[in-house]
Amino acid sequence: MNNETLATVYHGIIIHSLDIGNLEFIRNGLLAVHPDGHIAFLERDVGQLVKEHLFIIFSYSQVVTLSEHQFLIPGFIDTHAHAPQYVYAGTGLDLPLLNWLSTYTFPRESAFSSPTYALDVYKRVISRFLRNGTTTCAWFATIHLEATKLLVDVIRANGQRAFVGKVNMDTCGPDYYVEKIDDSVESTRDFIQYVLDSEPDTSKSSNSSNTAKPTRLVTPIITPRFAVSCTAPLLDSLSTLASEHDLPIQSHLSENPSECELVQSLFPHCRDYTSVYDHYKLLTPRTIMAHGIHLSSEEIAILRDRGTGISHCPNSNFALQSGVCDVRRLLNAGVKVGLGTDVAGGYAPSILDAVRQAMTASKACKIQYLARAEERVERDPDYNVLTIPEVFYLATMGGAKLLNLEDVVGNFVPGKEFDALLVDVGVADGPIDVFDHDTTESLFEKFLYLGDERSLRAVWVKGRRVAGSSNSDEF
């Protein structure tokens, strides 16, 4: 029998989020992946079955038995990153946002007018993110049409699931890096058509009731850089494009106090930063807004009512001195939240770093909350820092919900697609030391705090292995 036609059954420890506070540890589970990449079944507590018995019971399947210190988790979802900025990640973090953009970002992004340069960079960044376990990413590109098309090509060739946006900006940029409004709109329309035509979405034409409906690997996403860099006519045109093609939208919101003040001066007819996007009908259930640090209660209510979510990028928020986002406040208000690396405002191309920094940011909010309790009109006596189950949820299912992929990926519910990571906390020369007293729970937590790409033996997207520290299928 041809092995390529066989389903694969993984036998061992499986960890995933059922809900934001419900992290499930399956210590002796069976997870079957159909050849088309969707999850056929998930069985819990199957007993001490050995590999030979599994072959008898599931005679149609290949069986992978995980070792003692290995476990499966869903792939990480990065809800906000800038692919071209990877070239200077880890440098230039000595300035606040607006100065940083003019000093570092715009000069480096302008170099992507060269397709040759763009192709080299994009091959490296996509490979790096996949090795770090990012199976889905929402990418900002640059204003350059051809380079952004190349980013799509590289993503598809490497097998990552992605949302890709050609950046739009027609004002408040340097002369060498700004668009004319008509050019911006037309090149965006061209880009949308390129992505849609080169990878048709067959989900609506799937007639099979026994298999999951296939989904698009790369989705175009409307990407006004931020309100500062877009005139009102451009924002209005981009809203129309999103509506015409039923596309998601991504931008930045309330990242830096100076930015917020500048937006207010540019759009005096709007009450606040959030109202600018709302005025131009850019806040939808498919909109991702990065940061959301300095939001008023009224702005949070608008986001909740529109179904718009926030990409929490704690590394970048610290690095660019922007502030600390109170994620607990957003969650309590019913706003969707996922995690983002925001490379290169954030210096680490790993959602594991975002998990760690999110925990630190939450603790900082708690400390600040307690210190200012006397000043607060409404004090929440149950205000707590984010927990490990909650932050892992944000890195997986939370990101899936923010990208409206909760029915496709994010956990291991049967019928979803198999985007997954094989974690090995006992890998030789790895970052984690295992001791006799360690439990499954403690090793999982150690991975979140100490693990890196060496700990990821395999990375799968849609059931296809796309990266991993193991050089073979023997894990």
In the chain, what are the domains?
8-74+412-467 (2.30.40.10), 76-202+211-403 (3.20.20.140)
Q: What is the pLDDT of residue 94?
A: 92
Whole-angstrom Cα distance, residue 331 to residue 383? 12
pLDDT in tens, 126-171: 999 999 999 999 999 999 999 999 999 999 999 999 999 999 999 9
**CA–CA separation, 307 and 1 (whole Å):** 48
Burial group, residue 51, by CB count within 10 angstroms (0-12, 13-18, 19+): exposed
For residue 284, CA distances in Å to 55, 222, 246 come to: 48, 12, 11
Q: Do the bridges between strand 287-291 and strand 249-253 make them parallel or antiparallel, or are there none, so unpaired?
A: parallel
| Predicted local confidence at residue 1, as pLDDT | 39
Q: Name residues of the chain where pLDDT drops below 50.
A: 1-2, 51, 202-213, 377
Tens of pLDDT, residues 22-58: 999 999 999 999 999 999 999 998 865 554 555 555 6
Q: For residues 37 and 463, is the Cβ–Cβ distance under 8 A?
A: yes
Is 25 in contact with 441 (CB distance < 8 Å)?
yes
Backbone angles phi, psi at 320, to 5 degrees: -95, 10
Interacting residues of 167 by C-beta distance below 8 A, sequence separation 6+: 109, 140, 141, 142, 143, 223, 225
The closest of 169, 160, 197 to 81, measured between CA atoms, is 160
Residue type, 235: L
Which residue's structure tokens are 């931008």? 251
Q: In whole angstroms, what is the distance from residue 65 CA to residue 28 CA?
A: 10
Measured over the CA atoms of residue 231, residue 233, residue 236 and residue 237, the dihedral's sign is negative
Residue the block writes with tokens 């796309």: 466
Q: What is the pLDDT of residue 60?
A: 60
Tell which residue, 124, 105, 103, 122, has the closest CA to residue 114: 122
**Strand order across the 249-253 sheet:** 249-253, 287-291, 309-312, 337-339
